[in-house]
Amino acid sequence: MTGLLADTVEDPPVCLAIPGKIVEFVPDQPHLAVIEVSGVRRRVNIDLLRDEPLAEGEWVLIHVGFAMSRIGVVEAEEQMRLLAMLGEDTLAMEELAGYRFSEPPARAEDNA
């Protein structure tokens, strides 16, 4: 998604969080993990959850590009359902797709 397109969508709420499953860690980028949400894969920052080791297959809640809490699979399903009920599942997916820092970097040093 381009910045221009992003400006045309509705405002994503600041508070609601998006559930994602950790599917991969990023080599040489210990602060990042690849998460999957409804089949879409993006990188998010996992620095807030590094006190205890994270494992592939774990579920997290994502807020503004950061995994902010660990949750169970049941809670993840509940959260996705809640977003759908609030009519915000599309916005959540747009937010994920809109993370620019998440794009594979052209150069390693570009990796925010």
Partner 1 sequence: MKFVDEFRNPTLIRQASQEIHRLVEPGRHYRLMEVCGGHTHAIYRFALEDVLPESIELVHGPGCPVCVLPMGRVDDGLSLARDPAVILTAFGDMMRVPGRGGSPLEHKARGADVRMVYSPLDALKLAQQNPDREVVFFAIGFETTAPSTALTLQRARLLGVKNFSVFCNHVTIIPAIRAILDSPDMRVEAFIGPGHVSTVIGCRPYEFICRDYGKPLVTSGFEPLDVLQSIVMILRQLRDGRACVENQYARVVPWEGNRPALRAMAEVFELRPFFEWRGLGFISQSALAIRESYAEFDAERRFSLPGVRVTDPKAAQCGEVLKGVLKPHQCKLFGRECTPEHPVGALMVSSEGACAAYYNFALRKSNGAEPVGV
Residues that bind partner 1 (CB under 8 A): 3, 6-7, 9-17, 31, 45, 47-51, 61, 63-66, 68-69, 71-72, 75, 78, 81-82, 85-87, 95, 98-101, 109-110, 112
Within a 10 A sphere around the Cβ of 10, how many other Cβ atoms?
10
CB 51, min distance to partner 1, A: 5
Q: How far apart are CA 57 and CA 111, in angstroms?
A: 24
Gap between the Cα atoms of 68 and 71, Å rounded: 10
Could you tell me the smallest distance in angstroms from the CB atom of residue 75 to partner 1?
5
- Token reading at 45: 């920052």
CB of 2 to partner 1, least distance (A): 10
